């Protein structure tokens, strides 16, 4: 789950504890560049994780700046993602392999992306969708040594304009020939049925971001309309957290991770 403030982080962990589900919290690179200090984010999440009764991991999401990826490794993230999907195939391999070498030296796993997921991930925009090639996926994994691979099958960052057309057969083909966990980005707005089907076909990690922001913001808007005299920020945080927790619990059930905590 992509978290964007301490309230959403707490709500996600509460949801995980309620369903006894292990959880990965994503912090996207854009937050570190424009809104947050990485040196503060990791200790806060680690403290919340230590207090939690389920496993909580912290992932640096969509890193395109190797310097910031290196900083995330230093600051205590438990995994990192290098997104070289905007590069050509050979350059994507080169940058991903470089991050793998840095991260594995610290015992930290690396996620990479092959193919282009459309839409917008904060300030990262893919102008067109290019689904992941099966043969390239095999070569990419072998040459980079990455630990998980985000693939493109028709999803989009943000909310998709129109109706999703997911190439699920492509997913099934890749899952047959690639041994590492596969990741689905841009899952906000995808139906529960499609998410569950993708998981059954081989997706091990599903990223949700935009729909949480909408749930949180809509809950705050509703409170303002119903009780415009409310001025205490804690009141808005409370309703926002409740909305996020409810949504995350539903998505956890759909992905089948409920009850999987050790």
Q: Which residues are catalytic?
A: 61
Annotate 147-158 with DSSP letters as a single string: SEEEE-SS-EES
**CB burial class (10 A; 0-12, 13-18, 19+) of residue 190?**
buried
| Residue closest to 81 by CA, chosen among 112, 104, 103, 120 | 112
| Residue closest to 28 by CA, chosen among 55, 68, 67, 78 | 68
| Residue closest to 23 by CA, chosen among 262, 188, 257, 181 | 257
- Integer angstrom CA distances of residue 252 from 59, 191, 208, 257: 18, 13, 11, 6
Residues 6+ apart with CB under 8 A from 183: 111, 113, 148, 149, 150, 151, 203, 204, 205, 206, 207
What residue has token string 């998709």? 160
């Amino acid at each position: 789950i992509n978290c964007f403030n301490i309230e959403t982080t707490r709500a996600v962990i509460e949801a995980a504890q309620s369903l006894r589900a292990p959880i990965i919290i994503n912090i996207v690179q854009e937050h570190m560049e424009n809104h947050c200090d990485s040196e503060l984010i990791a200790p806060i999440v680690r403290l919340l994780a230590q207090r939690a009764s389920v496993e909580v991991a912290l992932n640096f999401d969509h890193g395109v700046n190797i310097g910031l990826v290196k900083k995330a490794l230093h600051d205590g993230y438990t995994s990192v993602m290098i997104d070289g999907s905007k590069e050509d195939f050979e350059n994507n391999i080169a940058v991903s392999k470089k991050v793998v070498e840095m991260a594995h030296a610290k015992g930290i796993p690396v996620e990479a992306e092959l193919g282009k997921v459309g839409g917008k991930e904060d300030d990262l925009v893919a102008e067109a969708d290019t689904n992941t090639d099966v043969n390239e996926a095999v070569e990419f994994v072998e040459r980079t040594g990455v630990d998980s691979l985000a693939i493109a099958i028709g999803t989009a960052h943000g909310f998709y304009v129109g109706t999703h057309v997911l190439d699920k057969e492509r997913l099934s083909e890749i899952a047959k020939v690639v041994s590492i966990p596969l990741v689905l980005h841009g899952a906000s707005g995808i139906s529960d049925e499609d998410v569950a089907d993708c998981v059954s076909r081989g997706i091990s990690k599903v990223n949700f971001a935009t729909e949480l922001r909408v749930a949180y913001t809509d809950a705050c808007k509703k409170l303002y309309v119903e009780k415009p005299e409310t001025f205490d920020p804690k009141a808005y945080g409370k309703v926002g957290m409740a909305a996020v927790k409810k949504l995350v619990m539903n998505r956890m059930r759909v992905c089948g991770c409920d009850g999987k905590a050790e």
